[in-house]
Structure 1
Amino acid sequence: MTGVTSGPHKLEAWIDRHWVRLALGAIAIMAGWFLWQRWGAIQWLALGDTDDNLRLAQVRAWLDGQGWYDLRQYRLSPPEGFNIHWSRIPDLPIAGLIVLTEPFVGRAIAERIAVGGAPLIPLFVALMALAFTVRKLVAGAAWQLTFIFFTGCTATLLMFMPLRIDHHNWQLACLSLTLAGLADPRKARGGAIIGLSSAFSLSIGLEMLPYCVMAGAITGLRWVIDRDEARRLQVYALTLVGGCTLGFAAFASNDNWAMRCDALTPVWLAAMVAAGGALFVAARVDPANRWVRLGLLGLAGGVIGGGFALLFPHCLSRPEGVSDELMASWLNNVREAKPIYEHPWRAIVPLATIPVIGMIGAGLALWRANTHDRIVGWIAVALFGAFAFLMLFWQVRAGPAAQLLALPGATALAWMALALVTDHPKRWVRIGAGAAVVLTVAGLFVSYIIRQLNVDPPSKMMQTVSRANRQCAMLSSMQALNRALPPTTLFTHVDLGPRLIATTHHSAIAGPYHRNGDSILAVHNAFKGSPETFLANARKYGATHLLTCPMMAETTVYRARAPGGFYDRMAKGENFPFLVPVPLPRRSPYRLWRIDYDAAPKLPISPSTTN
Structure 2
Amino acid sequence: MIDARGEWWRETLDRDWVRLTLVFWAVVSIWFFAQDWNQVRWLSLGDTDDNMRLMQVRALLHGQPWYDLRQYRMNPPAGFDIHWSRLVDLPIAALILTLRLFTSNSWAERIACGIAPLLPLSVAMLGLSATVRRLVSPYAWPLALVFLMGTSATMLMFLPERIDHHGWQLAMLSLTVAGLCDPRDSRGGAVVGLASAASLTIGLEMLPFSAGAGAIIALRWIWDRQEARRLSAYALTLGGGSAVGYAGFASYADRVARCDALTPVWLSVMIAAGVLLFVLARVGPASRIVRLALAVIAGALIVAGFVHFFPQCLGRPEQVSPELERNWLSNIREAKPIYQHPLRIAFPITVFPVIGVIGAAVAAWRARGAGADRAVGWAAVALFTAFAVAMLFWQARAGPGAQLLAVPGAVALAWLLVPRLLGSGSMLIRVFGTVAAVVVISGAFVGLTMGMLKVDPPSAYTKRVNYASGNCVRTTILAALNRYPAQTVFSFIDLGPRLITITHHDAVAGPYHRNGPAILDVQHAFGGSPLQAHAIMARHGATLLLVCPNMSESTIYRARNRGGFYDQLAHGRTFDWLTPLPLPRGSPLRLFRID
Q: Same fold (TM over 0.5)?
A: yes
Alignment match, 2:408: 408
Alignment match, 1:594: 593
3-state SS of the aligned residue for 1:403?
helix
Pairing of 1:482-501 with structure 2 (within 5 A): 482-483=482-483, 485-501=484-500
**Structure-2 separation of matches of 1:493 and 1:237:** 45
* Segment of structure 1 superposing worse, 18-27 or 359-368: 18-27
**Structure-2 separation of matches of 1:437 and 1:45:** 40
Alignment match, 1:106: 104
Which whole-Å deviations, capped at 9, do the CAs of 1:478-516 have from their partners, x for residues lacking one? 100112x11110000000000001111010000000012
Deviation at 1:35, TM superposition (A): 0.6
Alignment match, 1:468: 468
Alignment match, 1:16: 14
Deviation at 1:426, TM superposition (A): 8.4
**Structure-1 separation of matches of 2:555 and 2:6:** 58
Alignment match, 1:329: 327
Q: Which amino acid is the alignment partner of residue 139 of structure 1?
A: S
Gaps of 5+ in 1: 597-611
**Structure-2 separation of matches of 1:546 and 1:289:** 70
Alignment match, 2:534: 535
* Segment of structure 1 superposing worse, 415-424 or 154-163: 415-424
Deviation at 1:438, TM superposition (A): 2.2
3-state SS of the aligned residue for 1:14?
helix
Q: Which amino acid is the alignment partner of residue 461 of structure 2?
A: M
Which whole-Å deviations, capped at 9, do the CAs of 1:364-394 have from their partners, x for residues lacking one? 1011112111111111111111111011111
**Structure-1 separation of matches of 2:276 and 2:293:** 13
**Structure-2 separation of matches of 1:288 and 1:571:** 73
Which whole-Å deviations, capped at 9, do the CAs of 1:437-482 have from their partners, x for residues lacking one? 3222111111121112111111111001000011101000010011
Alignment match, 2:440: 440
**Structure-2 separation of matches of 1:72 and 1:17:** 48
3-state SS of the aligned residue for 2:382?
helix
Q: Which amino acid is the alignment partner of residue 592 of structure 1?
A: L
Q: TM-score, normalised by structure 1?
A: 0.95
Q: Does structure 1 residue 550 correspond to structure 2 residue 549?
A: yes
The root-mean-square deviation of aligned C-alpha atoms, in Å, is: 1.5
Match of 1:75 among 58, 63, 73: 73
Alignment match, 1:276: 274
3-state SS of the aligned residue for 1:103?
coil
**Structure-1 separation of matches of 2:277 and 2:294:** 9
Q: Which amino acid is the alignment partner of residue 590 of structure 2?
A: R
Pairing of 1:313-462 with structure 2 (within 5 A): 313-369=311-367, 370-423=370-423, 430=430, 432-462=432-462
* Segment of structure 1 superposing worse, 154-163 or 330-339: 330-339
Match of 1:43 among 41, 44, 51: 41
3-state SS of the aligned residue for 1:490?
strand
**Structure-1 separation of matches of 2:55 and 2:337:** 31
3-state SS of the aligned residue for 2:545?
strand
Match of 2:297 among 296, 299, 323: 299
Alignment match, 1:220: 218
3-state SS of the aligned residue for 1:594?
strand
Identity of aligned residues (%): 56
Q: Which amino acid is the alignment partner of residue 364 of structure 1?
A: V
**Structure-1 separation of matches of 2:471 and 2:506:** 20
Q: Does structure 1 residue 503 correspond to structure 2 residue 502?
A: yes
Pairing of 1:125-274 with structure 2 (within 5 A): 125-274=123-272
**Structure-1 separation of matches of 2:65 and 2:431:** 58
3-state SS of the aligned residue for 2:233?
helix
Deviation at 1:174, TM superposition (A): 0.5
**Structure-2 separation of matches of 1:239 and 1:260:** 23
Which whole-Å deviations, capped at 9, do the CAs of 1:270-328 have from their partners, x for residues lacking one? 01000110000011011111111111111111111001101100101111111110011
Q: Which amino acid is the alignment partner of residue 379 of structure 1?
A: A
Deviation at 1:561, TM superposition (A): 1.1
Alignment match, 1:57: 55
Which whole-Å deviations, capped at 9, do the CAs of 1:23-79 have from their partners, x for residues lacking one? 111111111111111011100100000000000111011101111000010000001
**Structure-2 separation of matches of 1:4 and 1:387:** 40
Deviation at 1:207, TM superposition (A): 0.4
**Structure-2 separation of matches of 1:19 and 1:432:** 30
Q: Which amino acid is the alignment partner of residue 507 of structure 2?
A: A
Which whole-Å deviations, capped at 9, do the CAs of 1:142-174 have from their partners, x for residues lacking one? 111111111111000000111010001101100
Alignment match, 1:116: 114
Q: Which amino acid is the alignment partner of residue 264 of structure 1?
A: L
Q: Which amino acid is the alignment partner of residue 150 of structure 2?
A: G
- How many residues in Structure 1 have an aligned counterpart in Structure 2? 593
3-state SS of the aligned residue for 1:584?
coil
Deviation at 1:12, TM superposition (A): 3.8
Q: Which amino acid is the alignment partner of residue 223 of structure 2?
A: I
**Structure-2 separation of matches of 1:342 and 1:151:** 26
Alignment match, 1:601: none
**Structure-2 separation of matches of 1:103 and 1:185:** 45
Alignment match, 2:480: 480
3-state SS of the aligned residue for 1:420?
helix
Q: Which amino acid is the alignment partner of residue 385 of structure 2?
A: G
3-state SS of the aligned residue for 2:70?
coil
**Structure-1 separation of matches of 2:256 and 2:306:** 16
Which whole-Å deviations, capped at 9, do the CAs of 1:526-563 have from their partners, x for residues lacking one? 00001111111111111001000101111111111111
3-state SS of the aligned residue for 1:464?
helix
Q: Which amino acid is the alignment partner of residue 348 of structure 1?
A: A
Alignment match, 2:91: 93
Say if 1:440 and 1:13 are closer, same or farther in 2 by CA, change over 3 A. Answer: farther
3-state SS of the aligned residue for 1:384?
helix
Deviation at 1:431, TM superposition (A): 5.6
Pairing of 1:540-579 with structure 2 (within 5 A): 540-579=539-578
Say if 1:238 and 1:5 are closer, same or farther in 2 by CA, change over 3 A. Answer: farther
Say if 1:16 and 1:432 are closer, same or farther in 2 by CA, change over 3 A. Answer: farther
**Structure-2 separation of matches of 1:194 and 1:337:** 26
Deviation at 1:422, TM superposition (A): 4.0
Deviation at 1:343, TM superposition (A): 0.7
Gaps of 5+ in 2: none
Deviation at 1:11, TM superposition (A): 3.7
Deviation at 1:7, TM superposition (A): 8.0
3-state SS of the aligned residue for 2:591?
strand
